[in-house]
Amino acid sequence: MLENYLPIVVFILLGIAFGVGPMLIGYLLGPSKPDDEKNSQFECGFPAFDDSRMYFNVRYYLVAILFILFDLEVAFVFPWAVVQSQLGWFGFIGMSIFLFLLVVGFIFEWKNGALEWE
Amino acid sequence: MELWQSFVELVHDLIPWFDGTVAAILIILVKAVALIMPLMLVVAYFTYAERKVIGYMQLRIGPNRVGPKGWLQPIADALKLMTKEIIFPTKANIYLFLLAPVLAIAPAIAVWAVIPFDEGIYVTNLDVSLLYVLAIGSIGVYGIILAGWASNSKYPLLGAIRSASLLVSYEIVIGFALVTVVMVADSVNLNVIVETQKGGIFNWYFIPLFPMMIVFFISALVETNRAPFDVVEGESEIVGGTHVEYSGMTFAVFFLAEYANMILMAVLAVVMFFGGWHSPFEGIPVMESIFGWVPGIIWLLAKTTFFMFLYLWVRATFPRFRYDQIMRLSWKVFLPLTIVWIFVVALMTQLNIGPWFS
C-alpha cells in the first residue's frame, strides 16, 4: 500500500527540480547587468512612493475566513459522499442536519452583507 | 515480471547498491519522463495553438515567421526566455521571490502522478487520488501569494490578494461539484470513477450531473486564471498582476505551471464527467466495431484536446468580468446551486431513481 506513495514523492521532487532547473539555466545563460533603475520596483514612469505593502480591503480577509468554514465542510462531506448510497436514510438525515446548520449560517452571512462587493 | 526480477538480480550482482528499491525508483523515473516530457511539449505547443486559434478567430494569421507556418515559434520563445536576464528587484525578499515559481510548478507536475490515462496506464493508483488532486492543487495558491508578497511592489500585491480570494472561493465550489460525482461513483479513486462510467455515452456523468459539469468547467477557468476571469493578471488594470517583477526563466516557470494546470483541469473534466478513456461509441452496434481498434488513451486525449480548445474559444469570445461579478458568481450562484444539487443527488440515490442513481 505504502509503495503507491513512492511515485508521489518522486514526482514532487521532480516538480521542484523543474522549478529550480530552468531558473538555474536562465541565470547561467542570461546576462547580468543590474542597475538601480532596472532593479527598482515597477511603477508607471516615476519613482514609487509609499510602502508597497499597503492596507487592503477587509473583505478579502472575510473571504478567507468564510473559505475556512466552507472548505472544512467540503472535507466533511467527502467521506460521507463515498458511502452515502450504503448508509441509507440514516446517512441522508444526518448529512441533512449538518448541511442545514451550515446553510443557516450561510443565509446569516448573506443577510449581513458579508458577500457584498461594492 | 519474473524476467524483470532476474534482471534486477543480475545487475545487483554486478553493482552491489542496485537492489529492488533502486529498481523501483528507476521505473518511476522512466514513467515520469514518459509523462512529463510530452506534457511539456504539449504546454509549448498549446501556447502556439492559443496564438494561432485566437488569431484566426480575430481574422489574423497568428505567428507564421519562425519555421514553416510558425511551428518553431514555441522553441524560439523558450530560447529567448532562457537568454534573458533574470532581474532581482532590490526591495524584494529574494528567497521568497525565488521560492514562489517553484511552489507554483511543483504541484502542477506532482498532480499528474495519479491521473489515469487508460485502463492500467497510470504512474500510481491511490485510493484517495481525487483528494490528492484537490490537496496538491490548492498548494498552487501559495506560489501566487508568495510571488505577490515577495516582489514588494504594488501591482503584484494587488494581483496576489485578488487571486488568493478568487482561487479560494472557487476551490469550495469545485470541491462541492466534485462531491456530487463522488456520490454517484461511490469512490474517490479516479480509476474507479472512470470505470463506473463504462458502457456508452449515456453512463458518463455529464448527463445526470449536467449543472455540476458547467459549474466545474467555469470554476476551472477561474482556478487557472483564464479569460474571461483573468482579473489576476488584468493587464488593463494592474499591469500584469503577480508576474510584474518576474523576468526571463523565473516568469517562464510560472507560465509553465499555469498551462500545465490548464491541461490538468481539462483532463480532470474528462475523467470526472466525460468517461475518461471510454469510447463514446460503446454500446452502439456498428460504430462500436468500426472504432473498436482505437486505444482508450486516444479517446482521453481527444476529449482533453476539445476542452483545451474550449479554453481558447472562451477567451476569444467573452470580455473580462468585473471582480465583484466574479465573486458574486461564486458565493451567490454556484455555492447555493452546488449545495442544493448535493441534496438532489442524495435524494435520488435514496429513492433509487433510475437510470443513473439506482
pTM across the whole model: 0.88
10 Å CB burial of residue A63 (0-12, 13-18, 19+) is buried
B-chain residues within 8 Å CB-CB of A95?
Answer: 346
Q: Does A113 touch chain B (CB under 8 A)?
A: no
Contact A56 B256 (CB under 8 A): no
Residue B312 scores a pLDDT above 70:
yes
Q: What is the pLDDT of residue B4?
A: 73
pLDDT at residue number B127: 84
Omega cis (within 30) before B355? yes
Between A28-37, A90-99, B172-181, B211-220, the lowest mean confidence (pLDDT) is in A28-37
pLDDT for the residue A15:
87
Q: Which residue is associated with the grid cell 479569460?
A: B227
Backbone torsion region of residue B32, taken as left when φ is above 0, otherwise alpha when ψ lies between -120 and 50, otherwise beta: alpha
Model pLDDT for residues B276-307, shown as the tens digit of each residue? 888 887 777 777 777 777 788 888 888 899 99
Give yes or no for residue B184 having a pLDDT over 80. yes
Tens of pLDDT, residue by residue, chain A (118 residues) = 667 788 888 888 888 888 888 888 888 887 878 787 777 777 766 666 666 677 777 788 888 888 888 888 888 888 888 888 888 888 888 888 988 888 898 888 888 877 777 6
Q: Give, to the nearest 10 degrees, the angle between helix B154-185 and helix A58-87.
A: 10
User: So what's the pLDDT on residue B1?
Assistant: 63
Q: Of the candidates B194, B184, B178, B186, which has an alpha carbon nearest to the alpha carbon of residue B131?
A: B178
Q: Average of pLDDT values for B212-237?
A: 81
Say what the pLDDT of residue A48 is: 66
pLDDT exceeds 70 at position B319: yes
* pLDDT tens per residue, range B227-266: 788 777 766 667 777 887 888 888 888 888 889 889 999 9
pLDDT in tens, B66-121: 878 888 888 888 888 888 888 888 777 888 888 888 988 899 888 888 888 888 77
Return the residue matching grid coordinates 462500436. Answer: B288
The average pLDDT across B121-134 equals 85
CB contact under 8 A, A31 and B85: yes
- Assembly ipTM: 0.86
Q: Is B324 on the interface with A (CB under 8 A)?
A: yes
Q: How far apart (Å, rounded) are the C-alpha atoms in residues B115 and B246?
A: 31
A:B CB pairs within 8 Å: 216
Q: Which residues of B touch A31 (CB under 8 A)?
A: 83, 85
B305: part of which helix (H) or strand (E)? helix B296-317
Q: At B6, list the grid cell.
A: 532476474
The arithmetic mean of pLDDT across residues B10-32, rounded, is 78
Asked if residue B336 lies in contact with residue B239, where contact means CB atoms within 8 angstroms, the answer is no
A64 with B165: Cβ contact below 8 A: yes
Per-residue DSSP letters for chain A?
A: -GGGGHHHHHHHHHHHHHHHHHHHHHHHHS-----HHHHSPP-SSS---S-SS----HHHHHHHHHHHHHHHHHHHHHHHHHHHHHHTHHHHHHHHHHHHHHHHHHHHHHHHTTT---
Read off the pLDDT of each residue in B156-165 and give the average, rounded to a whole number. 84
Looking at residue A18, what is its pLDDT?
86
% chain B with pLDDT above 90: 3
Task: Indicate yes or no: CB of B179 within 8 angstroms of CB of A78.
Answer: yes
Phi-psi region of B69 (alpha: psi -120 to 50; beta: other; left: phi over 0): left
Angle at B303 between CA B64 and CA B135, to 5 degrees: 100
Mean pLDDT of all residues in B37-50: 89
What is the pLDDT at residue A102?
86
